[in-house]
Amino acid sequence: MRHPTLRASLLAATTLAGLAVPTAASASDSAFADCSGPIRPASVMRIEACDTPSRIIDKAANIVPREGQINWQRKEVTTFTHFGMDTFTNREWGSGAEDEDTFAPKSLDVDQWMRAYKAAGAKQAMFTVKHHDGFVLYPTRYSNHSVIASPWWVRTSGCGSADAAKAARARAEAARGSDPSAYWQVRAAGCENKQGDILAQYVAAARRAGLKVGIYISPADGAELPHAWHREWVKQVVAKHDAGKPLSIEEQATYDDRDRDPSGQGRYGSGSAIAPRTIPTLVKNDDRAKAVAKGKLPSFKFATDEYNAYYLNQLYELFTQYGPIDELWLDGANPWSGEGITEKYDFTAWFDLIHKLSPNTVVFGGPQGIRWIGNENGVARETEWSVTPATAEPRSYHNEWLLPEGASVADIGSRAKLTAPAAKYLQWFPGEADVSLRPGWFFHPDQKPKTPSQLVGLYDQSVGRNASLLLNIPPAADGKVASEDVNALTSFGRAIRETYSRNLLAGARPTKAAHALTDTRLGTSWQGGSLDLNGPTTFDRIRLGQDITRGQHVEGFNVEAWNGSAWSTLVTGTTIGYSRILALPAPVTASRIRVAVTQARATPYITTLGLYRTSAPR
């Protein structure tokens, strides 16, 4: 059964609502098995066998975001920072067998990074703390393949403790094969670089700049590949190379570092036993021991293998030492599975630990978190739903693989997809559109950044299509964002600010309706009527938004203008969601305007209507 057509343009009374965000219930709280009780708003719901198609759509209309998801959506633009071992090897993909001496920034100006990000209009900055090579950019207790083992960690020139520091580091190097905390044990042996903990520098700089903080920590870890397997694989890669066959990106990195073993303990895909593990797993001389014993720091029990315990321990370090973390980005990369090494990621344990440590953190691929938009071009669908189906309980696996047809399917959440047999759950799962400023994710001197006009177009196709823009801005090996990148970002950010600094709907009548549509609150909304503008008004951009605290309801709409004798349609669209930006082919002058909702899953609550003139980048 389809809902009756709803038209916001009908001359109904304007309705304003001050709304509280509904409490998001978990799937296990669902009590609708009889398929006849009331449907209460929740962030996830199970589809019952007795649910009719119309009831499933009613459930979808009552899926609402968690508080953390609302805060995430309102940031609109997050910058991604890929800076690590690959910055210094000039590669996109590392092997995990790199010599830590390769990572040697001459300087680091993290505050300059934040100025560049702010100039682009970002509200959040996300740091790649460990890429697939496994090199860790903070002093972790659980891996020697980290900044502590790099010359970056010490400054022996002019340091009176230089000899003691060198001796301590030599002991750590000798013990690294048997003790993953060997370098951590000597972190304070003397001559420490005050900027050595790069993640700490990043987090502090972001907060000084007023930016929220996100962290990406790759589940894949080349440093932890088993040594015996790796040596055999190296032989195969060398033979393939010598036969003149092309190498994959993983194979090329392995070939480049073919004379070295992986830098870790061989825990990845090792087949270690599932056993009881305590997180945090305290190491020798662990500085947290007293706090854990006294309950000042929490501890958790999991049954998992060695590698998953390693990853859980690093998650614990991140949240307890560098939090609050607003977004945690983890993908499901398992890049060596085709070569015979696969690690079975314990997503349920990971999600459980994250939720216990920081319940409002949104997790990329996590339950009621955020999802990959389906491409790395920064482009969302023209019909972009935040309510999507899942094939299993969202806490059970990386949710990208629980989307019935994957993250790249053209139709992500229509009625047909929600009511298809593969759909077992519904959840609020909005899209994040990731793209890099340069062709690569890491900085390469021979590449050029996108132009400001290209960036404006990406903003329109991501933020303007009910998604968030995740824009990667890679610093160079000199520790700074390149000047040409800064110029492009500054011009882009200025164009967005100038375009949207003045809403031409301001001053329209009815005054109460115009105020509801032009304030920044989600809870004030408009449900009908035309608006008389403040005289003939010329605009070429329209921005719409729904009150997503009530869900995402609009399936079709028109924006219409009064031409003096009749209403004419300026633009037609499908979904709105948090934000929909519509660029008109040419400026339009009108004195009255209205929004006609032609199809919806439930009552639409329009909370934003903006009319703007484009300010071109300069």
pLDDT in tens, 421-430: 999 999 999 9
Model confidence at 245, in pLDDT bands (50, 70, 90)? very high
Which residues sit opposite 436 in a β-bridge? 472
Helix 483-500 × helix 110-119 angle, to 10°: 30
| Burial tier of 194 (Cβ tally within 10 Å: 0-12, 13-18, 19+) | exposed
Specify the DSSP class assigned to residue 359. T
For residue 483, the tally of other CB atoms under 10 A from its CB is: 10
Min mean pLDDT across 34-38, 114-118, 319-323, 544-548 is at 34-38
Q: How far is the C-alpha of 236 from the C-alpha of 245, rounded, in Å?
A: 11
Structure tokens at 380: 């969302």
Q: Return the percentage of the chain with pLDDT > 90, whole number.
A: 91
Q: In the prediction, which pLDDT does 33 show? A: 61
Query: CA-to-CA distance for 318 and 350, rounded, in angstroms?
Result: 13
Tell me: pLDDT of 540 over 80.
Answer: yes
Residue 434: strand pairing partners: 470
Q: pLDDT exceeding 70 applies to what percent of the chain?
A: 95
For the segment 406-423, the average pLDDT, to the nearest whole number, is: 98
- Please identify which residue in the block is written with the tokens 């972190």: 187
Distance of CA 356 to the CA centre of its chain: 20
Omega cis (within 30) before 219: no
Q: What is the pTM of this model?
A: 0.93
Are residues 60 and 550 in contact, defined by beta-carbon separation less than 8 angstroms?
no
User: For residue range 169-213, what is the model confidence (pLDDT) as tens digits?
Assistant: 999 999 999 999 999 999 999 999 999 999 999 999 999 999 999
Q: Which two tokens stand for residue 305?
A: 């293998």
Q: Render pLDDT for 44-85 as a digit per residue (tens, 0 to 9).
A: 999 999 999 999 999 999 999 999 999 999 999 999 999 999
Is 292 exposed, middle or buried (CB count within 10 Å of its CB: 0-12, 13-18, 19+)? middle
Q: Give 293 or 1, the one with higher predicted confidence.
A: 293
For the cut 80, the answer to whether the pLDDT of residue 28 exceeds it is no
Reduced to 3 states, what is the DSSP secondary structure of residue 136? strand
Cβ atoms within 10 Å, residue 84: 23
- pLDDT given for residue 564 in this prediction: 84
The predicted-structure confidence for 100-110, as pLDDT tens digits, reads as follows 999 999 899 99
pLDDT digits (tens, 9 = 90+) for 222-237: 999 999 999 999 999 9
pLDDT band at 528 (very low <50, low <70, confident <90, very high): confident
pLDDT of residue 526: 86
Consecutive H or E run containing 202: helix 198-208
Amino acid identity at 430: P
CB contact at 8 A, 171 and 78: no
The answer to whether 167 touches 124, Cβ cutoff 8 Å, is: no
Domains of the chain: which residue ranges? Answer: 27-63+387-428, 74-142+195-367
Helix orientation angle between 249-256 and 227-242, rounded to the nearest 10 degrees: 100
Residues composing the chain: 618
Using DSSP bridges, classify how beta strands 554-562 and 567-573 pair: parallel, antiparallel or unpaired: antiparallel
For residue 332, the model assigns a pLDDT of 87
In the numeric block, which tokens belong to residue 541?
């951009």
Nearest alpha carbon to residue 325 among 427, 145, 199: 199
Closest CA to 118 of 471, 582, 583: 471
Does residue 6 register a pLDDT over 50? no
* pLDDT of 132 over the 90 cut: yes
Give residue 157's pLDDT band: very low, low, confident or very high (50, 70, 90). confident
**pLDDT tens for each residue of 453-509:** 999 999 999 999 999 999 999 999 999 999 999 999 999 999 999 999 999 999 999
Residue pair 44/67 in contact by the 8 Å Cβ criterion: no
Q: Are 439 and 449 in contact (CB under 8 A)?
A: no
Place of tokens 């059970």: 396
Highest mean pLDDT among 11-15, 154-158, 160-164, 610-614: 610-614
Residue 471 near residue 581 (C-beta atoms within 8 A): no
As a whole number, mean pLDDT of residues 551-562 equals 97
Q: Whole-angstrom Cα distance, residue 181 to residue 284? A: 8
Tokens of 293: 């014993």
DSSP helix/strand/coil, 561: strand
In the predicted model, what is the mean pLDDT of the chain?
93
Q: What digits encode the pLDDT tens for the residues 298-341?
A: 999 999 999 999 999 999 999 999 999 999 999 988 999 999 99
Residue type, 381: R
CA distances, 142 to each of 134, 182, 493 (Å)? 11, 9, 40
Separation of alpha carbons 66 and 72, rounded Å: 10
pLDDT per residue as tens digits for the range 358-387: 999 999 999 999 999 999 999 999 999 999
Question: Checking DSSP bridges between strand 425-428 and strand 387-390, what pairing results, if any?
Answer: antiparallel
Domain 74-142+195-367 CATH (choose: 2.60.40.60, 3.20.20.80, 3.50.50.60, 3.40.50.2020): 3.20.20.80
**What are the tokens at 549?**
């605290």
